[in-house]
A and B are shown apart, each in its own frame.
Chain A
Amino acid sequence: MTTADGKPLKVSLRRALRRQRIWAFLLVAPLLLFILVTFIVPVFNMALRGIENPQVHDIMPQTTSALKAWDGEGLPAEPVYAALVADLQAGYKSKEIGKVATRLNYEKVGMRSVIMSSARHAKRMKDGPYKEAMIHVNRAWGDPATWRLIKRESAPYTFSYLLAALDAHYDDNGDIAMLPQDRRIYVPLFIRTLLMSATVTLFCILLGYPVAYLLANLPLKISNLLMIMVLLPFWTSLLVRTTTWIVLLQSQGVLNDLMVWLHVIDDQGRIQMIFNKTGTLVAMTHILLPFMILPLYSVMKTVPPSYLRAARSLGANPLVAFWRVYVPQTVSGIGAGSLLVFILSIGYYITPALVGGQSGQMISNMIAYHMQESLNWGLAGALGLLLLVIVLVLYSVYNKFIGIDKIKMG
């Protein structure tokens, strides 16, 4: 079969389809490019900082290449010391050596002063042999462990930030070891973040399910009116909603005043409900609840009420009918809402920072701390990388079972 211009129909059709595919892709291309440049690249860049290790490699190039031949046993030979002195002199001159000192200090406390004082001495050294001289300047240079540390950190990529983010480190022999129990910070914080997110998700199910059921079963006129009560918080600024919880829950706040007035508690016994874990949980539940109600509502809308009536007429008592007939039909809504609430809550930063106090901080707050205050950007990157991996795994689960384009927003 051929078309009017004599081409086979198959070829013609294939060409038309290809043209349509290209058209569709061209419509998406500008946005895809935009997101890649303004968002995906920066996020990858941030995560890469968790494994990049340029300081020793770039600022001490001679030592780096001289150490390549060293087998890690005993002390390195004279040429390595000569390279070290040359690098220290160059680094001191360019004022870059401080970065190496900071970098090595993350791995072993005390390395900052070793490097800085050695650099000050090295700039006056004229000629060798350097080995004895450097060991004389600082005993650390006579310790093979120092050299093993430098050799390890002279690689352009490192696992040490990731290890630090998992409360582990390389010991003096270069083996991976966990930190002692009392010095572990990040793993407990990850666990706390996951636990708090799970608690918020559970609260959202408990509070969201009855409301969604009510909304789905009321006549449309009333349910649309009540829906405003769900949508207004959804549209209100996160900062506003966090502020209201400070106003309500603080010890001189509305709720405490009310309880004092009702003589539930006396004026001295005001309860501290904010600037701790409780405050964070309450505020986050309030903020994320609409994300649970909306998908639940849209699933419940599709459940035919006759099933429940059939179960009742067949003799099931109301509780059994509800639990064994109604709830299973809404599992997809529970799943969609829970995953979304969980994904959103493990990355929460603003609310814990404002109402969390000490005990309500989450992993995002730690990343912000390393970004803005300790300036250990490598560790911030590693923590970010771990958080990102958790979120992306959950995101792909969501994508697979629910479909990302099914997110409900009002």
Chain B
Amino acid sequence: MAALPPYTSTLERVWHYTYLAICGLIFLFLIGPILVIIPLSFNAEPYFTFTHAMLTFDPAGYSLRWYHNILSHPAWIQSIKNSFIIGPAATVLATVLGTLAALGLSRPQMPFRGVIMSILISPMIVPLIISAAGMFFFYSSVDLTQTYMGVILAHTALGIPFVVITVTATLSGFDHSLTRASASLGASPSHTFFKVILPLVTPGVISGALFAFITSFDEVVVVIFLSGVKQRTLPLEMWAGIREQISPTILAVATILVAMSVLLLTVLELLRRRNERLRGIRA
């Protein structure tokens, strides 16, 4: 596709460039909206569009006032703290439980594999509003609503499918003769796990954990139903902000979140390369 062969007809040439232009527009559709809010979050005026001063690159058109706004509102600070309490806690729980289960699921002797797998993935499929409403009724009957514990457990359940999927995918290329080799060389099962299995599945575990983290960090429906005043998370604060009166502070928060997803994506990309390299050595 990179270079057109010399025998290409004019019509094909025209079509080729039209096609590339169409793809360019689709990429613009994908990425443009996310990039647009970044400069807008530095707007000096409380508008959601580019002012004349911004377009002429006048420094007076730009400011950090919306970022100051985040720092000067205790509600935003508290919600950021909450997100960083709930997210990691749910991630650790989901990753540990999910990795263990994936190890079991990828064993050839696992009974009822299909049924169990579809139960474990279901939190990703069931509409969030049903999950949230169900959790609200059930968790309030055991006094878990308006507690950190309740939100953490709920987010763990929502993050688990991602861990199970990524770790089983990593394990699908796993060579089981390695564990047998390790055992025949005299390693105990736990030694085999930490020295042979874990290093090979670590990239999958980490990317599963990142998925679980972003799921919790981004989740708002369950938080609407389960959280009290004390457990308000960043997405909930944003949701409330957008519904009441959308202010450019939201754009500043959104920019910070975009920066975070860029960071996570970079980590994931590095992991993928490492994984490919490792597999390349083995092959």
List the interface of chain A (C-beta within 8 A of B): 17, 20-21, 23-28, 30-32, 34-36, 38-47, 49, 207, 210-211, 214, 217-219, 222, 226, 228-233, 235-248, 250, 252-254, 257, 286, 289-290, 318, 343, 346-350, 353-354, 364, 367-368, 371, 377, 380-381, 384, 387-388, 391-392, 395-396, 399, 404-405, 407, 409-410
Contact = CB atoms under 8 A, between A and B. Distances in A.
Contacts of A240: 34, 37, 254, 257-258
Contacts, number: 274
Interface string B151-186: 001101100101011101100100000000000000
25 contacts: A23-B109, A24-B107, A24-B111, A30-B101, A39-B123, A39-B131, A44-B134, A46-B138, A211-B27, A214-B19, A226-B27, A232-B261, A236-B34, A237-B217, A237-B261, A238-B218, A239-B239, A286-B29, A350-B220, A354-B242, A364-B127, A371-B225, A404-B121, A405-B168, A405-B172
A247 to B, nearest CB: 5
B265 A232 contact: yes
B211 interface: yes
Contacts of A368: 129
Interface residues of B, number: 95
A243 B246 CA distance: 9
Nearest to B38: A244
Interface in B259-276: 261-262, 264-265, 268-269, 272
A364 to B, nearest CB: 4
Contacts of B70: none
Could you say which of A32, A235, A380 has the most chain B C-beta atoms within 10 Å of its C-beta? Answer: A235
Contacts of A237: 217-218, 235, 254, 257, 261
A257 B264 CA distance: 34
Contacts of A228: 265, 269
Given A218-B1, A233-B31, A350-B221, A405 B165 contact: yes
A409 to B, nearest CB: 7
Given A238-B218, A286-B30, A410-B207, 15 more contacts: A21-B110, A30-B97, A39-B135, A45-B134, A45-B137, A46-B138, A232-B34, A243-B238, A246-B48, A254-B48, A347-B130, A348-B127, A350-B239, A371-B129, A387-B130
B200 interface: no
Contacts of A43: 126, 130-131, 134
Interface string B17-59: 0011011001101110110110010000001111000000000
Contact of B109 (A17, A31, A217): A17
Contacts of A348: 127
A166 B96 CA distance: 43
A38 B101 contact: no
Contacts of A384: 129-130, 133-134
A255 B90 CA distance: 39
Interface of B: 1-2, 12, 15, 19-20, 22-23, 26-27, 29-31, 33-34, 36-37, 40, 47-50, 97-98, 100-101, 103-105, 107, 109-111, 114, 116-131, 133-139, 153-154, 156-157, 160, 162, 164-166, 168-169, 172, 207, 211, 214, 217-218, 220-221, 225, 235, 238-239, 242-243, 246, 250-251, 254, 257-258, 261-262, 264-265, 268-269, 272
Given A30-B101, A218-B1, A364-B127, A42 B139 contact: yes
